[in-house]
Amino acid sequence: MRPGDEGDFATYVVECVADGPGGDRQPFGGPDTLSFGEVAEQYQAARRLTRRILPVPLPRAGARAAGDLTCPQGRRGTTTWAEWLTRHPARSA
């Protein structure tokens, strides 16, 4: 997956609106391709959590369907998941 920043995505949406009607648009994603495990590990590191992360195998059909989640031909934001985590501290309960 390519986690994206809401500010980067908002800029993309504004550009699309300014371009006017144009049919399909490029998919949007963040700059890095990460596995779900990597996202979870980075989240835990940023929040100073030490919980066990269990791998969950994805059936082949699910993996094929999820292949487009990385939007290989799409538009890229500039903010990484790690940068986003540092700018969005954990909320207290």
Identify whether 1 is part of a domain: no
**Domain assignment of residue 33, yes or no:** yes
pTM of the model: 0.77
At 39 the pLDDT is 94
Residue 23 lies in a domain: yes
Total domains present in the chain? 1
- Is residue 92 domain-resident? no
- Residue 49's domain spans which residues? 6-87
47 contacts 31 by C-beta, under 8 angstroms: no
Q: Specify burial of residue 54 (Cβ count, 10 A radius: 0-12, 13-18, 19+).
A: exposed
Let me know if residue 43 belongs to a domain: yes
Could you report the average pLDDT of every consecutive run of 10 residues in the chain (93 residues)?
93 91 86 91 94 88 74 89 91 65
Is 93 part of a structural domain of the chain? Answer: no
The answer as to whether 45 is a domain residue is yes
Q: What is the pLDDT of residue 43?
A: 95
| Res 60: pLDDT | 86
